[in-house]
Amino acid sequence: MTTLDQLESPQLLIDLDVLDANLQRMRNNFADRPLDIRIHFKSLKCGGLARYLCGKGMTKFLCAKLNEAEVLAESGITDLFVANQIIGAPKLRRLCELAKRAQVRVCVDDAANVEEMGRAARAAGVTVDVLVEVDVGMGRCGVDPGAPALELARHVRRQEGLRFVGLQGYDGHLQLIADAEEQRHRCLDSLEKLVGTRRLLEQNDIPVEVVTGAGTGTSAIVGHFNGMTEIQPGSFLLMDNAYHAVRPEFACSLSVLCTVISRRPGRYVLDAGSKAISKDFGMPAIKGRAGDNVLKLAEEHTLVDSPDGNVRVGDRFEVLTAHCCATMNLHRQCVAHRGGRVEAVWPIEASGRYD
């Protein structure tokens, strides 16, 4: 049995006990509701971890990019939703290839793309499940709620090879709002737009099987809103400082194991920097050392201010990142452990891929 102290550092760690508790907490929130929890794979990017979750009954996955869906299909997972626009003939061919070995859903927000997707599906002899993406206020992709979404849903239904299944409405602009009342108020407003669009489609005799959205930050509100059928959080499993500040009920299972390689009074240096620890959402923290303050991430060094001075060269600390998804994307493998005993070393097949 390998233990963490036998491993070289830096090393990306996942504490499976903490991850299991996060999963259970999310499931408990909706135990009394007919709601699907579709896990966002852009946070994980790791087929071994996806298979682990499947073993716990979590078989539905969301992806940001086609390569993530392909990694999942390679891992034997077949209920896939790429919540993004798939544009251009080469990517549409890949999508249709994927549809031969998995049930794959995709978003659309453009009529010409819908027509090209229909042609690609017919040429490949597959049916692609399509959700119309609605912009519920984030201002990223998506058509406006109401009539524009109705128009596009009708267009999808006219294409042989495509099957309209429902509506996607992700509220990314609301995830990290710290004030619970403000978040709730704005979230209900965006949900009204999305579920109002569902009602409009149904009044026009278009069945809507799926209405999906939410992330870790808004899942508790969205998942209890009548008319929603699915939530799509990802970060709640691994977690990071930024999310933990607003969702303290989920703990950080992800960390980067580091070694102190240099010290001087009031300061020490760790053996990993911005090439192993994402800083796009802010500075990381040192697990169990509340008084320490990360000053700077260089490429391969992290400089930490440590007033208590009680640190020796060779000490090992776990670094808790400010952004779990971006940190997964920096590594090629992760070590899954329980209480410091290694259970698995999984490749992170989709890390560093953007296609």
Ligand X SMILES: Cc1ncc(COP(=O)(O)O)c(C=O)c1O
Q: Are 185 and 151 in contact (CB under 8 A)?
A: no
Which among 142-150, 167-175, 267-275, 344-352 is the span making contact with ligand X, rule CB under 6 A? 167-175
Residue whose CB is less far from ligand X, 83 or 269: 83
Rounded to the nearest whole angstrom, what is the least distance from the CB of residue 218 to ligand X in the complex? 8
Take residue 120 and report the two structure tokens written for it: 């690609």
Alpha-carbon distances, residue 116 vs 84, 90, 155, 287 (angstroms): 16, 11, 12, 50
Q: Which residue is nearest to ligand X (CB)?
A: 215
Which residue's entry shows tokens 């209920």?
A: 79
Which residue's entry shows tokens 């969702």?
A: 247
Residue whose CB is less far from ligand X, 225 or 236: 236
Instruction: Identify the residue among 9, 67, 113, 175 touching ligand X (CB under 6 A).
Output: 175
**Is 142 a residue that touches ligand X (CB under 6 A)?**
no
* Closest to 133 in 3D by CA, of 65, 211, 191, 77: 211
Contacts of 86 (CB under 8 A, 6+ apart): 66, 92, 95, 106, 113, 117
Rounded to the nearest whole angstrom, what is the least distance from the CB of residue 174 to ligand X in the complex? 10
Alpha-carbon distances, residue 59 vs 77, 273, 310 (angstroms): 7, 34, 46
Residue whose CB is less far from ligand X, 172 or 347: 172
Which among 143-151, 168-176, 193-201, 305-313 is the span making contact with ligand X, rule CB under 6 A? 168-176
Query: Residues touching ligand X: how many (CB under 6 A)?
Result: 13
**Is 327 a residue that touches ligand X (CB under 6 A)?**
no
Rounded to the nearest whole angstrom, what is the least distance from the CB of residue 136 to ligand X in the complex? 11
Residue whose CB is less far from ligand X, 95 or 126: 95
Residue whose CB is less far from ligand X, 58 or 83: 83
Q: Are 204 and 198 in contact (CB under 8 A)?
A: no
Longest distance between any two alpha carbons in the chain, whole Å: 72
Rounded to the nearest whole angstrom, what is the least distance from the CB of residue 216 to ligand X in the complex? 3
Query: Which of the residues 34 through 53 are near ligand X (CB under 6 A)?
Result: 40, 43
Rounded to the nearest whole angstrom, what is the least distance from the CB of residue 307 to ligand X in the complex? 33
Residue 137 Ramachandran class (φ > 0 left, ψ -120 to 50 alpha, else beta) = left
Residue whose CB is less far from ligand X, 87 or 345: 87
Residue whose CB is less far from ligand X, 133 or 318: 133
Query: Which of the residues 226 through 265 are near ligand X (CB under 6 A)?
Result: 232-236
Rounded to the nearest whole angstrom, what is the least distance from the CB of residue 199 to ligand X in the complex? 22
Q: Are 103 and 136 in contact (CB under 8 A)?
A: no
* Closest to 27 in 3D by CA, of 238, 220, 239: 220
Instruction: Identify the residue among 19, 58, 83, 242 touching ligand X (CB under 6 A).
Output: 83
Q: How many Å separate Cα 60 from the centre of its chain?
A: 12
Instruction: Identify the residue among 146, 148, 172, 196 touching ligand X (CB under 6 A).
Output: 172
Instruction: Identify the residue among 67, 113, 197, 216 touching ligand X (CB under 6 A).
Output: 216
Rounded CA separation 138/82 (Å): 18
Q: Are 136 and 171 in contact (CB under 8 A)?
A: yes
Residue whose CB is less far from ligand X, 118 or 215: 215
Which residue's entry shows tokens 């070694």?
A: 259
Rounded to the nearest whole angstrom, what is the least distance from the CB of residue 299 to ligand X in the complex? 26
Residue whose CB is less far from ligand X, 224 or 301: 224
Q: Are 131 and 168 in contact (CB under 8 A)?
A: yes
Rounded CA separation 112/192 (Å): 28
Residues that bind ligand X (CB under 6 A): 40, 43, 83, 170, 172, 175, 215-216, 232-236
